[in-house]
Chains A and B, each alone.
Chain A
């Protein structure tokens, strides 16, 4: 067991030092911009709202990627009647540019190629605003699109459906453009340019093109973004300057280190060699937690760090409970090696109950079922998840690790 722990320890040091895995820092620590958008759904029938939100999110994700941010986060969140999109742009500081970019409503437009003499050249051409012209058909004429499967080949296709007015326009256009390409632009960027195979007069058609399932899904989401345009407004905007984030990380790490050394020294002062062993278990605890944060991965925020600090306190507490019991049992005259085993057994009851209530609280705060009436905010959940992991790990290190260390390394004169 002891050697197993040593092996685990070296493995953890390795995990924590591999540069491939990064410790994910939340925006409050790394600096950047967080924008929360609220979608205005009043013009959209309730059954379409979820897919409209997904489409809006997809479009924003696209724009953010064009913006060239590394590791952007775009998530949609529903809270009762509020449909929101949260965008996190680490390392970005130009708020105005970022917000004007992501705050727009999606614009979908159909365009035909301007006829070029050389036909072979036009077949290879990528559509741009310059070599195409509007056909007076846009997102408002489209009712919805969805992913379907071709009855003949079984391949994923994107089915589109038009409004009555759109049906008429689309029929005219497809009749006129049989054999030609019809380009579809989203936010002035072409997303697909299928060839019209036959005139489509009944108002629904399919776009084929050897799509993978994911490609078809993305295309459908993009088309829906135009068909179900959702105006978004900014409800929250936070900028953390890179220096402030860096400063708080550095200072907190420094302070945390000093605090830990104080705690470790205090344990040694109180319990001598037992304190040293408890401190080693604590180091183990730190290594395991950090490794878990990196592997899962968990984004560390300020509240997350608070949860972590609290769990350090609880990790030490398990050992204190055990050692105090040990002293009591020794006072009763038991030899030390029996006293220590008894102490572990007796302290377990209180350690279990105390930590179990904390785990319950964490679960409720973390809200794993994403219930609407419980917190869905990243801050509260960030706190709950680090505390939860911390408590679980501390149960392991405070009991299993400390006990193994004591059994192997600790001797007392009898």
Chain B
């Protein structure tokens, strides 16, 4: 058995190392919205095997001399649609989070489990969004509607992964063995670690193949999914579970006092 619970602060430090710059960038620079959200026109053309992208704001002259280039795609979007999509996706996410919270709380007959799962989920969302804010700042990466889907995927995956570990903890607790909560979770983590790694590896293989071989239009979308997957895997044993342990310890102390 590996004593995972000894290094809780280390995990938090590691998360903070990723989260703090991301959140800082998010607050300071925000995300770089694509035409989907700002409105305007985007034209991607190919000439002599070179792909270039033109961006036009609303009302700018739309007649561009293409000079024999092939138009790969062009998008003209009014600003309302993107905002509406964003707002509705946000409402749906909040509803989904509440539903997950309730389901987990019910399935595990304990609100703490639900809240810790949701905190881990928020952690993963912030990691993805924060990193994309940094990407946008330094490499000009834009977030579009596909990015919204990637964020939603991260949400599902994160909870999926957390529940597997919580399920173990629940099982060992039910047996009523005389162990501290830290011991129980250490055992659960040790035994699920192989599964977590194997499972993430399979998804990471899929995504890496898509990044390296897939089309250029979806590259950043897959990168977002990849970050979400890695963060989702990490957060289950190293954010959700430590939080649960800390919470339990706090309650124990209160009971003793």
Interface pair B209/A255, CB less than 8 Å apart? yes
Interface pair B225/A248, CB less than 8 Å apart? no
Interface pair B73/A309, CB less than 8 Å apart? no
Considering the complex, give the chain A residue whose CB is closest to the CB of B193.
A324
A312 contacts across to B, CB distance below 8 A: 206
The stretch of A189-197, A285-293, A313-321 that contacts the partner chain: A313-321
Interface pair A380/B214, CB less than 8 Å apart? no
B180 contacts across to A, CB distance below 8 A: none
The stretch of B3-11, B25-33, B154-162, B241-249 that contacts the partner chain: B154-162
Contact of A252 among B73, B157, B202, B210 (CB under 8 A): B210
Interface centre among B96, B104, B107 (most CB of A within 10 A): B96
Task: Tell me whether A255 and B213 are in contact in the complex, defined as CB-CB below 8 angstroms, given that A235-B81, A374-B91 are known contacts.
Answer: yes
A247 contacts across to B, CB distance below 8 A: 215
Q: Could you tell me the distance between the alpha carbons of A374 and B80 in the complex, rounded to whole angstroms?
A: 16
Q: What 0/1 pattern do residues 29 to 72 of A give for CB contact below 8 A with B?
A: 00000001010000000000000000000000000000000000
Interface pair A320/B199, CB less than 8 Å apart? yes
Interface pair A353/B167, CB less than 8 Å apart? yes
The stretch of A123-131, A153-161, A201-209, A262-270 that contacts the partner chain: A262-270
Interface pair B217/A244, CB less than 8 Å apart? yes
B54 at the interface (CB under 8 A from A): no
Interface pair B99/A360, CB less than 8 Å apart? yes
Contact of A357 among B103, B149, B192, B225 (CB under 8 A): B103
Number of A interface residues at 8 Å Cβ cutoff, please give it.
70
Q: Could you tell me the distance between the alpha carbons of A21 and B206 in the complex, rounded to whole angstroms?
A: 28
Contact of A248 among B171, B206, B218 (CB under 8 A): B218
A259 contacts across to B, CB distance below 8 A: 205-210
Interface pair A328/B209, CB less than 8 Å apart? no
B155 contacts across to A, CB distance below 8 A: 361
Contact of B206 among A313, A367, A373, A387 (CB under 8 A): A313
A334 at the interface (CB under 8 A from B): no
Interface pair A356/B78, CB less than 8 Å apart? no
Considering the complex, give the chain B residue whose CB is closest to the CB of A366.
B92
Considering the complex, give the chain B residue whose CB is closest to the CB of A240.
B73
A402 at the interface (CB under 8 A from B): no
Interface pair A355/B91, CB less than 8 Å apart? no
Task: Tell me whether A251 and B85 are in contact in the complex, defined as CB-CB below 8 angstroms, given that A353-B167, A365-B96, A383-B149 are known contacts.
Answer: no
A79 at the interface (CB under 8 A from B): yes
Considering the complex, give the chain B residue whose CB is closest to the CB of A249.
B215
Tell me how far the C-beta of B209 lies from the nearest C-beta in chain A, rounded to whole angstroms: 4
B70 at the interface (CB under 8 A from A): yes
Q: Could you tell me the distance between the alpha carbons of A79 and B72 in the complex, rounded to whole angstroms?
A: 30
Task: Tell me whether A387 and B210 are in contact in the complex, defined as CB-CB below 8 angstroms, given that A238-B74, A241-B72 are known contacts.
Answer: no
Interface pair A364/B92, CB less than 8 Å apart? yes
Tell me how far the C-beta of A275 lies from the nearest C-beta in chain B, rounded to whole angstroms: 10
Interface pair B221/A235, CB less than 8 Å apart? no
Q: What 0/1 pattern do residues 162 to 180 of B give for CB contact below 8 A with A?
A: 0110011001000000000
A346 contacts across to B, CB distance below 8 A: 171
Tell me how far the C-beta of B89 lies from the nearest C-beta in chain A, rounded to whole angstroms: 6
B85 contacts across to A, CB distance below 8 A: 375, 377, 379-380
Interface pair A321/B95, CB less than 8 Å apart? no
A254 at the interface (CB under 8 A from B): yes
Task: Tell me whether A266 and B201 are in contact in the complex, defined as CB-CB below 8 angstroms, given that A238-B73, A374-B88 are known contacts.
Answer: yes
Interface pair A262/B195, CB less than 8 Å apart? no
Considering the complex, give the chain B residue whose CB is closest to the CB of A309.
B206
Interface pair B84/A306, CB less than 8 Å apart? no
B194 contacts across to A, CB distance below 8 A: 324
B141 at the interface (CB under 8 A from A): no
Q: Could you tell me the distance between the alpha carbons of A254 and B213 in the complex, rounded to whole angstroms?
A: 7
Contact of B152 among A266, A314, A349, A365 (CB under 8 A): A365
Considering the complex, give the chain B residue whose CB is closest to the CB of A255.
B213
Considering the complex, give the chain A residue whose CB is closest to the CB of B84.
A79
A295 contacts across to B, CB distance below 8 A: none
B167 contacts across to A, CB distance below 8 A: 349-350, 353-354
Tell me how far the C-beta of B81 lies from the nearest C-beta in chain A, rounded to whole angstroms: 5
**CB under 8 Å from chain B, chain A span 320-371:** 320-321, 324, 328, 346, 349-350, 353-358, 360-362, 364-365, 367
A317 contacts across to B, CB distance below 8 A: 160, 164, 195, 199, 202
Contact of B100 among A256, A349, A360, A367 (CB under 8 A): A360
Interface pair B160/A380, CB less than 8 Å apart? no
Tell me how far the C-beta of B10 lies from the nearest C-beta in chain A, rounded to whole angstroms: 26
Contact of A364 among B95, B171, B209 (CB under 8 A): B95
A320 contacts across to B, CB distance below 8 A: 195, 198-199, 202
Considering the complex, give the chain B residue whose CB is closest to the CB of A322.
B195
Closest 6 pairs between A and B when the two form their complex, measured CB to CB: A259-B209, A248-B215, A235-B78, A350-B167, A259-B206, A255-B213
21 contacts between A and B (CB under 8 A): A236-B76, A238-B74, A244-B73, A255-B209, A255-B210, A256-B206, A259-B205, A259-B206, A263-B202, A263-B205, A303-B145, A306-B149, A309-B203, A316-B199, A320-B198, A357-B104, A360-B100, A373-B91, A375-B85, A375-B88, A376-B88
Residues of A that sit less than 8 Å from B by CB: 36, 38, 79, 82, 93, 95, 234-241, 243-244, 247-248, 251-252, 254-256, 258-260, 262-263, 266-267, 270, 302-303, 306-307, 309-310, 312-314, 316-317, 320-321, 324, 328, 346, 349-350, 353-358, 360-362, 364-365, 367, 373-377, 379-380, 383, 387
